[in-house]
Amino acid sequence: MELKERIEGMLFGIATGDALGVPVEFCQRQSRIDDPVQEMRAFGTHHQPAGTWSDDSSMVFCTVEAMLKEYSTELLGRYFLDWFLNGYWSAHGSVFDIGIATSQALHRIKSGVKAELAGGNEEMSNGNGSLMRIAPLIWECKNLEPSERFRFVSSASSVTHRHLRSILACHYLLEFIRLIAQKELDKMQAFKEMCRSWESGLLVHSPEFANELSAFRRILQPDFNLLPQDELSGSGYVVHTLETSVWCFLNSENFRDAVLVAVNFGDDTDTTAAVTGALAGTYYGSNAIPSEWKSAISRTADIEDLALRLTIRESER
């Protein structure tokens, strides 16, 4: 698959998944079973027009802008702050959705704290706010040595989420995307490879790691995809979002089905679908995303332009 197809697939995958979830964010799973989302909807939870994406996509687009300059964690923090304060890369000019941990971290950056120290590192600060925005950084770190990749993702997550569990979740997602985008493995092959090598590839064996790795026990089982749907959750806890997104990706045959299953888990619908969309969009490519979804979301042309600029930069590296 061509690079442009993958990069555009990732960015539109995130934004369309996010936009499908925005109108039904925080609704319970039962309401999605009774009335499943099948297409873009308007209004609902945040009173936004159809196709409006939220913080997940804004922070992804800010991340890509930082990559297109001279990427650093500080620069990433400055772009996030510009979004938070001025609505930079927002769908309609203002911020209507932001997580508590992200908001606290951006206030710390504003008051002068270094970006890589800004995220909370309490066990309770393990929402999915760094996982939802981490995917595009694979293009920045894919050629680093494994230990450098871990340090890279650690500082990137730490801008908003500094606890080791959040960092490990981000690392898992990027390594998985690396296997499908750079190594071009089939998704089940890539998943089996993650089960086989992710933990040992971390190259760290401190007691702190051993404790945290227990949170990833289920997603490292080679038959994880066979778990019944009701054992997974659409909550905003980072491990739930990672598990459910990977499960939706593995248990579907195309982009549309993957993100619709994710949205219809209910609860943190936009983020579960955005992370699922990052995996499925990168894997199946931009042409596999329903064109009516791509044209229905906010700022379609700006997203195409951003994907093109990242593609050009990648092909020149």
Residues binding Mg ion (CB under 5 A): 54-56, 97, 270
- Least CB distance from residue 119 to Mg ion, whole Å? 17
Cα angle: 120, vertex 126, 131; to 5 degrees:
100
Mention every residue, 6+ apart, whose C-beta is less than 8 A from residue 101.
119, 120, 125, 127, 129, 160, 161
CA distance 174 to 71: 17
Closest CB to Mg ion: residue number: 54
- Least CB distance from residue 169 to Mg ion, whole Å? 17
Q: Are 118 and 77 in contact (CB under 8 A)?
A: yes
Q: Are 211 and 168 in contact (CB under 8 A)?
A: no
The nearer residue to Mg ion, 56 or 65, going by C-beta atoms, is 56
CB count within 10 Å of CB 230 equals: 7
Unique residue bearing structure tokens 């990137």: 156
- Least CB distance from residue 18 to Mg ion, whole Å? 6
- Least CB distance from residue 46 to Mg ion, whole Å? 9
The nearer residue to Mg ion, 271 or 311, going by C-beta atoms, is 271
- Least CB distance from residue 259 to Mg ion, whole Å? 14
CA distance 297 to 254: 20
The nearer residue to Mg ion, 23 or 285, going by C-beta atoms, is 23
The nearer residue to Mg ion, 56 or 212, going by C-beta atoms, is 56
237 three-class SS: strand
Q: What is the DSSP letter of 120?
A: B
The nearer residue to Mg ion, 56 or 243, going by C-beta atoms, is 56
- Least CB distance from residue 56 to Mg ion, whole Å? 5
Longest CA–CA span in the chain (Å) reads 49
Instruction: State how far the alpha carbon of 301 is from the alpha carbons of 168, 295, 297, in Å.
Output: 34, 9, 10
The nearer residue to Mg ion, 37 or 185, going by C-beta atoms, is 37
- Least CB distance from residue 272 to Mg ion, whole Å? 10
The nearer residue to Mg ion, 194 or 273, going by C-beta atoms, is 273
The nearer residue to Mg ion, 271 or 286, going by C-beta atoms, is 271
Amino acid residing at 114: K
Nearest to 181 by CA among 53, 37, 69, 13: 13
> Count of H helices and E strands in the chain?
15, 0
- Least CB distance from residue 57 to Mg ion, whole Å? 8
Q: Are 246 and 227 in contact (CB under 8 A)?
A: no
